[in-house]
Amino acid sequence: MFSSLLFIGFNETILILIVILILFGAKRMPQMARMLGKGVSEFKKAANDIKQEIEDAAESDYSKKKDSGDENKENRETK
């Protein structure tokens, strides 16, 4: 049921836009569109920042494990 709500057609989109136009008026629609655009761009930026932090943390953990593995290998070879 929920997945059918995600895919709306052209007719439904036009109906939603008409209802928004009636409720908020033509003067506020550009302002609302700008606010929506800013919100989406901020969300994308935050998502990219979180993704980058996770990748950096994973990379640093990998390099720490690799470095400690090299040290253990050198210690075993010198004994």
> Which token pair is 41?
């761009």
- Domain range enclosing 36: 2-78
Determine the Cα angle at 9 with ends 5 and 13, to 5°: 90
> What's residue 78's pLDDT?
56
> How big is the chain by its Cα radius of gyration, in Å?
26
- pLDDT tens column, 8-66: 888 998 998 899 899 988 889 889 889 999 999 999 999 999 999 999 988 887 777 77
DSSP string, 7-69: ---HHHHHHHHHHHHHHH-TTTHHHHHHHHHHHHHHHHHHHHHHHHHHHHHHHHHHHHHHHHH
Rounded to two decimals, the pTM is: 0.54
> What's residue 62's pLDDT?
77
In this model, does residue 67 exceed pLDDT 90?
Answer: no
Give the number of domains in the chain. 1
